Amino acid sequence: MQSLNENPAPLSLTRVIVVDDHDLLRESLRCMLECEPSLQIVDEAKDGQEAIELCRLHRPDLVLMDVRMPRVDGFEATRRIKEELGTTKVLIMSAYNECEYVSEAIRAGAEGYVPKLASLKDLQEAVREVLCGEFRYR
């Protein structure tokens, strides 16, 4: 598998916000993704409302978004982020892999959907595909 940093063209850092209401998962994602030299984790959010506010502040290239969270869920947060910051890409990560969740992610405007039980390799591939403008739903 090609790593995110193996792209032959020089890339600027991709600014990422990680959103999940579970501290351990959010921190684990940060640690895994910080190993990719082309990614810069600019912030973390614990719910959808905080994600919207941080996106307004940082204007990230990519948001890794959980679905089930307090205050504002991931689908609604994705809708609002896409309305306000159309160039920010959203990759939904969820423990739920049912068709209705994937369909809702598509309707919300997310560029991808990856199960939380995916391997690190699958997550890296999903991030790369979304950043390259491909739609990623598995």
Place 9 in a pLDDT band, splitting at 50, 70 and 90: very low
Per-residue pLDDT at 92 exceeds 90 = yes
Most confident listed range (5-19, 28-42, 43-57, 93-107): 43-57
pLDDT score, position 1 = 42
Its pTM stands at 0.88
Q: What's the Cα-to-Cα distance from 38 to each of 31, 34, 41, 75, 134, rounded to whole Å?
A: 14, 9, 10, 27, 18
Kindly report the CATH class assigned to 11-137: alpha beta
**What is the DSSP secondary structure assignment for residue 13, as one 8-state letter?**
P
Domain locations in the chain as residue ranges: 11-137
| pLDDT over 90 at 134, yes or no | no
Lowest mean pLDDT, pick from 1-15, 17-31, 83-97, 124-138: 1-15
